[in-house]
Amino acid sequence: MTRTNQINLKSSDKQDQFDIFVIDDNFDQANILKLLIEQYGFTARFTTDSKSAFQKILKYKPRLIILDLMMPEIDGLRLCKMLKENPYTANIKIIIYSGKLYDSDRRKAHMVGADLFLTKPTRANLLLNSIKKLLFTPKNEILQN
């Protein structure tokens, strides 16, 4: 398996515009999510490097981010907080996608601004319905549910 699906910062901006950015230090997990998302008509890219993810997000401004919680360098909570505190990225929807099942992790994710917390593994239809809800439902309706 090649790593050509990761973002190449030297490509043209038009070519690299996409809907969803997956950030997971596990290459296989990130690639599977990307392929699943693309099967449903969304454009997606991924990176396994949480340290460079913030700069890539600033450059490409995806509509939604699926973010692993436990990663080396910068963990998902810290990256989520950085994104929600930055005026250029604050409105990007973020799903924390983690193998951790603790309520405390769920609470921490929401405290730093995550829009949704899903546990790994999750059913494809739940993930895709969550993506659609976050991208296509007005914010005030999401908060009521």
- pTM score over 0.75: yes
* Chain position carrying tokens 């603790």: 102
Q: Output the CA–CA distances (angstroms, integers) from residue 48 to 34, 87, 110, 111, 141, in the order listed.
A: 12, 24, 23, 24, 33
Query: Residue 6 has which token pair?
Result: 């990761």
Predicted confidence (pLDDT) per residue in 61-90, tens digit: 999 999 999 998 899 999 999 999 999 999
Tens digits of per-residue pLDDT, 85-135?
A: 999 999 999 999 998 888 999 999 999 999 999 998 889 999 999 999 999
Q: What φ, ψ does residue 9 adopt, rounded to 5°?
A: -65, -10
Name all domains of the chain by residue range, CATH numbers in brackets: 20-144 (3.40.50.2300)
What is the per-residue pLDDT for 141?
57
